[in-house]
Structure 1
Amino acid sequence: MRFGIAILPEYRWQDAARRWRQAEEYGFDHAWTYDHLTWSGLQDSPWFGTTPTLTAAATVTSTIKLGTFVTSPNFRHPLALTRDILAIDDVSGGRFLCGIGAGGSLDATIQGGPDLTPRQRQDRYEEFVTLLDTLLTTDGVDFKGEYYETRNGRTLPGCIQQPRVPLILAGNGPRSVRFAAEHGDGWMTTGGDKTTLDTWFASLADLSHRLDDALEGRHLDRYLSMDNAQYALSSTAAFEEITTRAAALGFTDLITHWPRAEGVYGGSEDVLEQVATEVIPRLR
């Protein structure tokens, strides 16, 4: 079992840097930040750019993997994103993980454009991933799809990680889970019904079974965002329960959130320290 932590891009760097350094010192396997222009519940909060944040994080760490949790086709083009990925992967010495999702509704039309249906967002997502995969492994790409186009898209020098950085594909429904099984280096999910911890784990069990069917015996790393029905760092007991139940479903990587002073993911850094130094070593 591997453990990760998400640090929201809301802090000025003089405050954020110590969190990224501490995540590595605590022994987390990977650290992530959101890739949104705005996020539900925090529209009035400070918010900084994802790729500069991860690049800065790469300069204050040396071993922990760094990722997008998750990047979105809502406001990115695969070719421009490729350049950002190449830079982060290079600066970090090959530690970048690219989480990708279909994109939610909150920042979907913030730059204009049509309000896509869920089916159209999934269509766009699949085209986005397909083109991004090609760009990360091929130089000089000509592509014309329904949503994206490149004309001799140049992508030198290529990734440090070969053949490219890992693509961790988000999926919370049957179609997106199948797509992750077919095209991803990992599957990431937030699950379904979040009414209670039991209903949430029931939804996770269903998604896990669907992934098993799609994989037909092949292995795929499985990343779970832990803090949906209950904030995992609300207590050491909560963290241990969620970890144990997730492990029973075959999840290989669990991601919690750095405690915020209040509101969403509000909690205590003392609990984080206890989990990192006492609970996680025992659960490994």
Structure 2
Amino acid sequence: MTVEVAAPRGGPERVRAGIVILPDQRWSAAAGRWRRAEEYGFAHAWTYDHLGWRDLVDGPWFDAVPTLSAAAGVTSRIRLGTMVASPNFRHPAHFAREVTALDDICGGRLTIGVGGGGVAGFDNTVLGGEALAPRERVDRFTEFLEVLDPLLRGEPVTYRGRYYTAVDARGTPGCVQAPRVPLVLAALGPRSMRLVARFGAGWVTTVGRMESLEDWWRAAAGSVARFEDVVSAAGRDPSTVDRYVSLDSAPVYSLSSAGYYAEAVGRAAACGFTDVLSHWPRASSWYAGDEAVLEEVAGGVLPTLGG
């Protein structure tokens, strides 16, 4: 089955497939997943950036940066990244150093997904802070990017904002990739979408939680249309921005069957997305599924994508 469709609004005819591997296993077990992600033919592989996540906070959980460093050592071609890095507990000056090191370690295969930080949850409270209002989260997100962007380009930064301060921070030697590591920004509303127009190589959305699958796909198509309108109004050509969607925010898990996965990829392409994200099947709880389906997708669907 070849997943090629006529896409509206100048969207892509083919999509790249990515896999998200939760950092919930010791490396002795997790390393095999990252190797297989590359062997299966995924275009990119990601991990969550949280201090703890939902009801998995009491189970095994490992940091994104060393996880990606280790993943770089067991892969050679696949792009690697955070989906998404969180300002809830990261400072952009320190994170820039981590990103620069990661890009060097993986030989320029790094993409950094970054968002405004979750509205609620463990990351908001574990360091003694309080959850910010939506407008404040976007304000903080703006400051985070205004410090991170020049540092990743190798430029020194002095910055004093409401949320972040940097005094003669250094970005040397800069990233392997020029002018810097690409940033994929999570955005649902127009203010965050304008940040994508300003800083992003890509945009990622979860669309939102809905009970009806058909409602979710209609919302997905609408989100692409709104994104293109906002980016165009900001003076940037939307076709220069990659568009990622997390298929698993829909009411049906994307890897419930190979047939459904192929259908979901085709529908994402028809909406105008360039990239799709699925989660590695887990034994239970979130993203519970069968790795046999993943193998079937790798053998029968991924080779048709052309990404």
Question: TM tier, shorter chain?
Answer: over 0.9
1:73-222 map, 5 Å: 73-104=87-118, 105-106=120-121, 107-216=123-232, 217-219=237-239, 220-222=241-243
Q: Does 226-235 or 51-60 show the bigger shift?
A: 226-235
Q: Does 143-152 or 173-182 show the bigger shift?
A: 173-182
Instruction: Determine if contact 2:209/2:249 at 8 Å carries over to the other structure.
Output: no
The alignment partner of 1:247 has SS state of: helix
- In structure 2, the partner of 1:249 is 271
Higher relative contact order (CA 8 A, sep 6+): 2
Report deviation, 1:192.
Answer: 2.0
In 1, the alpha carbon distance for the partners of 2:28 and 2:92 equals 31
Letter of the structure 2 residue corresponding to residue 234 of structure 1: S
Instruction: Determine if contact 2:193/2:231 at 8 Å carries over to the other structure.
Output: no
Letter of the structure 1 residue corresponding to residue 231 of structure 2: L
Report deviation, 1:165.
Answer: 0.0
CA deviation digits over 1:82-136, x for unaligned, max 9?
1110111000000010000111121112101233111111110111112110211
Letter of the structure 2 residue corresponding to residue 279 of structure 1: V
CA deviation digits over 1:144-189, x for unaligned, max 9?
1111011110121110001100010001223222322332110001
Letter of the structure 2 residue corresponding to residue 52 of structure 1: P
- In structure 1, the partner of 2:299 is 277
- In structure 2, the partner of 1:52 is 66
In 2, the alpha carbon distance for the partners of 1:140 and 1:186 equals 25
- In structure 1, the partner of 2:10 is none
- Runs of 4+ aligned residues of structure 1 deviating over 4 Å after TM superposition are none
Q: Does 235-244 or 67-76 show the bigger shift?
A: 235-244
Where structure 1 has 5 or more consecutive residues not aligned to the other structure, the ranges are: none
- In structure 2, the partner of 1:14 is 28
The alignment partner of 2:75 has SS state of: coil
Instruction: Determine if contact 1:174/1:207 at 8 Å carries over to the other structure.
Output: no
Instruction: Determine if contact 2:111/2:182 at 8 Å carries over to the other structure.
Output: yes
Change in Cα spacing, 1:114 to 1:44, as seen in structure 2 (3 Å) is: closer
In 1, the alpha carbon distance for the partners of 2:197 and 2:263 equals 27
Report deviation, 1:242.
Answer: 1.0
For 1:232, which of 222, 230, 254 is the aligned residue?
A: 254
Report deviation, 1:195.
Answer: 1.4
For 2:285, which of 253, 263, 267 is the aligned residue?
A: 263
Over the residues paired in the alignment, what is the CA RMSD in angstroms?
1.2
Where structure 2 has 5 or more consecutive residues not aligned to the other structure, the ranges are: 1-14
Report the number of matched residues.
Answer: 284
Instruction: Determine if contact 2:20/2:277 at 8 Å carries over to the other structure.
Output: yes
In 1, the alpha carbon distance for the partners of 2:259 and 2:238 equals 33
CA deviation digits over 1:20-71, x for unaligned, max 9?
0000001111000000011123122110011000000000000000000000
Instruction: Determine if contact 1:177/1:211 at 8 Å carries over to the other structure.
Output: yes
In 2, the alpha carbon distance for the partners of 1:86 and 1:178 equals 25
The alignment partner of 1:233 has SS state of: coil
In 2, the alpha carbon distance for the partners of 1:208 and 1:182 equals 17
- TM-score calculated relative to the size of structure 2: 0.90
In 2, the alpha carbon distance for the partners of 1:193 and 1:40 equals 16
In 1, the alpha carbon distance for the partners of 2:238 and 2:60 equals 42
- In structure 1, the partner of 2:6 is none
Report deviation, 1:244.
Answer: 1.0
Instruction: Determine if contact 1:41/1:264 at 8 Å carries over to the other structure.
Output: no
